[in-house]
Amino acid sequence: MKFSEVLLQLESNPICQSLSLHSFLMLPVQRITRLPLLIDAVLTWLDETDVEYTTCQLAHATLNKVCAAYNVASLISTA
């Protein structure tokens, strides 16, 4: 059986909800770009004196860097 045949069979499986392999590969990337928004929301609920506040700030800054790098890479790949 060829890869394309197996892929078509898997994508037609109801458990995949008719989503393509491309959809499954893009999902983590889309989630990464939403994480800074989530951390930003968490930061609004935390008091600056909370133990987790500094960790969330660091996570927020790191995720912003990851998203910026992804955006640059995306621009380069489409150019």
Number of structural domains the chain divides into: 1
At 15, list the tokens.
């458990």
pLDDT band at 1 (very low <50, low <70, confident <90, very high): confident
pLDDT digits (tens, 9 = 90+) for 42-65: 999 999 999 999 999 999 999 999
Region 37-43: what's the mean pLDDT? 95
Domain that holds residue 67: 3-78
Residue 28: the pLDDT is 82
The pLDDT, as a whole number, for residue 18 is 85
Q: How does the average pLDDT of the chain come out, rounded? A: 91
DSSP symbol at 13: S
Higher pLDDT, 56 or 79: 56
Q: How far apart are CA 11 and CA 25, in angstroms?
A: 13
